[in-house]
């Protein structure tokens, strides 16, 4: 009987001793990825705006943004994506542990220096441990307001309705939190 209790006690201790990751600082490499994402997307959006105005730029956000995220994810080993509280693409809805942190950014999307605010945290354990980084995407007057603002042209509204029938990503004013770039890194536990 004593061995059974000892074995059970040992099993309980082993279960409690599962490795949990210490907080991991991924801010520098995440900020660099977020900068690249923003730069590549803005470059393509500006080209599309010059060529076809806001209606032409909608396709860039729909197709190029996910492609940029995939390329950066494959290159870095992190998962790169955009998330939002009011999403245009249903796959971008902030869920789970991301939602309260995105709500935190919504309260103050810019830091004291006027730059996009960010948060990071480490969660999970074992092979599921991840270091997460969220950087706010504050709404800009131009070109963002053309598709996400409060006064959207009828042709833009029609194209948005065609491509995103359940669109919730309108009604933003400059400075509001439009969404965030979410970057998640695997954390090795030893």
Tell how many helices (H) and how many strands (E) occur in the chain. 6, 4
55-114 confidence digits (pLDDT tens)? 989 988 889 999 999 999 999 999 999 999 999 988 899 999 999 999 999 999 999 999
160-181 confidence digits (pLDDT tens)? 999 999 999 999 999 999 999 9
Residues whose CB falls within 8 Å of the CB of residue 63, separated by 6 or more in sequence, listed in order:
none
């Amino acid at each position: 009987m004593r061995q059974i209790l000892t074995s059970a006690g040992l099993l309980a201790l082993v279960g409690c001793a599962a490795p949990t990751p210490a907080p991991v600082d991924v801010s520098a490499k995440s900020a660099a990825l977020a900068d690249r994402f923003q730069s590549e997307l803005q470059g393509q959006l500006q080209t599309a705006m010059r060529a076809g105005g806001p209606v032409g730029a909608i396709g860039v956000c729909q197709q190029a943004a996910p492609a940029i995220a995939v390329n950066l994810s494959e290159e870095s080993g992190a998962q790169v994506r955009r998330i939002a509280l009011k999403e245009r693409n249903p796959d971008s809805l902030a869920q789970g542990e991301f939602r309260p942190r995105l709500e935190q950014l919504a309260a103050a999307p810019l830091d004291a220096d006027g730059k996009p605010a960010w948060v990071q945290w480490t969660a999970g354990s074992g092979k599921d441990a991840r270091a997460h980084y969220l950087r706010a995407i504050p709404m800009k007057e131009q070109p963002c307001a053309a598709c996400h603002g409060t006064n959207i042209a009828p042709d833009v509204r029609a194209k948005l309705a065609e491509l995103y029938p359940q669109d919730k990503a309108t009604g933003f004013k400059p400075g509001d939190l439009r969404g965030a770039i979410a970057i998640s890194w695997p954390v090795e536990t030893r």
